[in-house]
């Protein structure tokens, strides 16, 4: 099958949507399909052979964050050329309602289209206001996928229609095989995410840290991600700042090793999350997870059975629950076992098969429509067909 995939966000800035698209493409290629991904990227970005650069992206506020997207007349021309040259059996567009390559691809595309909706935003006035503009493009989509029940709810409430829920995929084996690094072990908490993006919640964790250190003075916090490190610890008492180690951007391999090393992985995100792929990666690596009680996180953690939840933005509650886990190796071991059982449903062996089933459904439907239209034409001409 020839499959075209549209990534709305810049390939060179890591994010959950980009990782999902990368892993999906590599999963499909490994199974013998031809895949081409169209994505924004800077000119000097080293791209995998299956990614086609659609030009540089610009940062714009989107869903409580800053997204780097590509839009405009030049981008539209590139999208049309890629669609025409690709001659795809199916086109898979991610975030088709975003003002990006995704929407341009909806306008340009012909044939079977699958749209995946990642955004969870229950109060998007902009999406409601833009609906008359989006409607003609969205009506061309043959099948809709939402990565969670909350992304599906956003779609239904703002744009109408419905979607099948297929979660983000993770290579569970990759994280499970990761080996801990000795220097990252021993009373450690882990955080991975953009340091200077408030909704990722690092300030909440920093407010909790003094209370954690008051109970367990040797605890260390390992932080991986880009951002202003000095600003991140500015509110901490100076004597405690040495307990925070910033690792900067880490490779996929080091991310997996970090997750396999920490005693507790903390996800203090404050909102705007439709899934929580980092939680699945952490559980796959064997890290006990402590996360804010966002609806999407609670669903990923099986209502708190596969990980612990604390009250969103409540630093005191985070501190209490982190100390409980750090003091109780038996509870951590139980969470590791539960998490590893729970993540199997998110492995690409399952998620990839579900997505392929959607592709097959829309391509078979398109073939049936084409056959019916052809039969109708012959009938109108008064001719039979063998």
Burial (CB count within 10 angstroms: exposed 0-12, middle 13-18, buried 19+), residue 29: middle
Determine the Cα–Cα distance for residues 317 and 303; give it in Å rounded to an integer.
17
Report CA-CA distances (Å) from 69 to 17, 53, 55, 245: 12, 12, 10, 32
Q: Which two tokens stand for residue 277?
A: 């792929």
Over residues 103-120, the mean pLDDT reads 91
**In this predicted structure, what is the pLDDT of residue 135?**
79
**In this predicted structure, what is the pLDDT of residue 34?**
98
**pLDDT at position 78 over 50:** yes
Longest dimension (CA), the chain: 89
Closest to 273 (Cα-Cα) out of 16, 2, 9: 16
Determine the Cα–Cα distance for residues 15 and 9; give it in Å rounded to an integer.
8
pTM: 0.85
Determine the Cα–Cα distance for residues 82 and 76; give it in Å rounded to an integer.
10
pLDDT category at 379 given cuts 50, 70, 90 is: low
Q: What percent of the chain has pLDDT over 70?
A: 88
**pLDDT at position 29 over 70:** yes
Q: Regarding beta strands 58-62 and 264-267, do their DSSP bridges make them parallel or antiparallel, or are they unpaired?
A: unpaired
Cβ count near 238 (within 10 Å): 8
Out of 21-35, 84-98, 250-264, 363-377, which region has the weakest mean confidence (pLDDT)? 363-377
Task: Find all residues with CB under 8 Å of 269, minimum gap 6, and list them.
Answer: 193, 199, 200, 201, 276, 291, 292, 294, 297
Going from the N-terminus, what domains does the chain have, and what CATH number goes with each?
Answer: 2-169+347-379 (3.40.50.2000), 173-345 (3.40.50.2000)
pLDDT category at 63 given cuts 50, 70, 90 is: low
Exposed e or buried b per residue across 132-151, where buried means at least 16 C-beta atoms within 10 angstroms of its C-beta: eebeebbebbbbbbbbbbbb
**In this predicted structure, what is the pLDDT of residue 378?**
47
Over the stretch 175-222, which tens digit does the pLDDT of each residue have?
999 999 999 999 999 999 999 889 999 999 999 999 999 999 999 999
**pLDDT at position 275 over 60:** yes
**pLDDT at position 133 over 50:** yes
372 vs 285 pLDDT, higher one: 285
């Amino acid at each position: 099958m020839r499959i075209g995939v549209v990534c709305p966000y810049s390939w060179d800035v890591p994010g959950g949507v980009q990782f999902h698209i990368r892993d999906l493409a590599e999963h499909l290629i490994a199974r013998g399909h031809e895949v081409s991904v169209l994505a924004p990227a800077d000119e000097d970005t080293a791209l995998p052979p299956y990614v086609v650069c659609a030009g540089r992206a610009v940062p714009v506020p989107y869903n409580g964050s800053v997204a780097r997207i590509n839009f405009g007349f030049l981008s539209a021309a590139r999208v049309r050329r890629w669609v025409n040259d690709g001659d795809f059996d199916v086109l898979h567009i991610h975030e088709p309602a975003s003002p990006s390559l995704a929407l341009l691809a909806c306008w340009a595309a012909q044939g079977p289209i699958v749209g995946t909706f990642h955004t969870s935003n229950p109060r998007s006035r902009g999406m409601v206001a833009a609906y008359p503009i989006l409607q003609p493009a969205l009506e061309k989509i043959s099948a809709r996928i939402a990565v969670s029940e909350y992304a599906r709810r956003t779609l239904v409430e703002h744009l109408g229609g419905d979607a099948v829920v297929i979660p983000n995929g993770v290579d569970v084996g990759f994280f499970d095989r990761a080996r801990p690094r000795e220097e990252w072990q021993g009373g450690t908490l882990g955080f991975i995410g953009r340091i200077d993006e408030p909704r990722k919640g690092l300030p909440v964790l920093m407010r909790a840290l003094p209370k954690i250190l008051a109970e367990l003075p040797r605890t260390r916090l390992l932080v991986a991600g880009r951002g202003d490190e000095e600003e991140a610890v500015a509110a901490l008492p100076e004597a405690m700042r040495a307990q925070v180690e910033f690792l900067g951007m880490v490779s996929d391999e080091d991310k997996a090793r970090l997750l396999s090393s920490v005693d507790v992985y903390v996800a203090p995100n404050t909102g705007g999350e439709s899934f929580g792929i980092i939680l699945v990666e952490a559980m796959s690596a064997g890290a006990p997870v402590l996360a804010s009680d966002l609806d999407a996180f609670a669903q990923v953690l099986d209502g708190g059975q596969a990980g612990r939840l604390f009250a969103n933005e409540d630093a005191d509650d985070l501190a209490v629950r982190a100390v409980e886990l750090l003091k109780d190796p038996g509870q951590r071991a139980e969470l590791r076992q539960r998490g590893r059982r729970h993540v199997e449903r998110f492995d690409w062996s399952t998620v990839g098969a579900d997505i392929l089933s959607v592709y097959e459904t829309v391509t078979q439907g398109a073939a049936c429509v084409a056959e019916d239209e052809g039969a109708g034409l012959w009938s109108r001409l008064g001719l039979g067909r063998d």
